[in-house]
Chain A
């Protein structure tokens, strides 16, 4: 059974940093690209970032480019998102999702971890 479990969320002040993690199990992790998708409370889904199977290719939404960094450790079946210079508008549930190429389908999702940016 595919499982994706996020961790690392919490409350942080504007301008602060946070590192999210996603533990994957139930599939061959390095066969798949991965993504982060966020959802502000009561709002819709917003794609944040993606990484290919070996970490050699990454992509970011314009809203987070230059502030967030996605990475993966295939030996540990783990995905990460380093978030710097956080803003109030980054407040959201952050979901990790498995990606099916080439159409970039998100076929499995984690439950998400909540990041709150507030002073």
Chain B
């Protein structure tokens, strides 16, 4: 079955740029979605279809997808961005939705 690989952690200082990678075989052929989950809260969609933002999500959040890696970028990181970030795709071969293992963002 299709596998998504995310690094376990990312650390940045406030005001810097955080980048989260999501690796998968030929992932560029799939639509990648990203979720933010703060401690004790439900996940929130922050980017969908590789690069689109839902209403209410700041422009600081952006996405890209190329080759075998999709990337979520948060510019001008704030303390409130500290959370776990998950990528997700739908695998049409298995008709399963797949999540990456998640990356924990620490704001130093």
The answer to whether A45 touches B86, judged by C-beta atoms less than 8 angstroms apart, is yes
Chain B, Cβ-Cβ closest to A101 = B90
**B107 CB within 8 Å of chain A:** no
The answer to whether A95 touches B43, judged by C-beta atoms less than 8 angstroms apart, is yes
The answer to whether B43 touches A47, judged by C-beta atoms less than 8 angstroms apart, is no
Select B42's contact among A44, A95, A103, A107, beta carbons within 8 Å.
A95
- A112 to B41 Cα, complex, angstroms: 9
A residues in contact with B86, CB < 8 Å:
44-45
The answer to whether A107 touches B99, judged by C-beta atoms less than 8 angstroms apart, is no
Instruction: Give the residues from 91 to 119 in chain A that come closer than 8 angstroms, CB to CB, to chain B.
Output: 95, 100, 103-112
**A35 CB within 8 Å of chain B:** yes
Q: How far is the CB of B106 from chain A (nearest CB, A)?
A: 16
- A105 to B98 Cα, complex, angstroms: 11
- A12 to B31 Cα, complex, angstroms: 38
The answer to whether A111 touches B42, judged by C-beta atoms less than 8 angstroms apart, is yes
The answer to whether B33 touches A47, judged by C-beta atoms less than 8 angstroms apart, is no
Interface residues of chain B, those whose CB is within 8 Å of chain A, are 1, 31, 33, 35, 37, 41-45, 48-49, 54, 84, 86, 88, 90, 95-102
Interface residues of chain A, those whose CB is within 8 Å of chain B, are 35, 37, 44-47, 50, 59, 61-62, 95, 100, 103-112
A to B CB contacts below 8 Å, 9 in the list: A35-B97, A37-B43, A44-B101, A46-B99, A47-B98, A59-B95, A62-B96, A104-B90, A106-B97
3 tightest Cβ-Cβ pairs between the two chains A and B? A104-B90, A47-B97, A103-B31
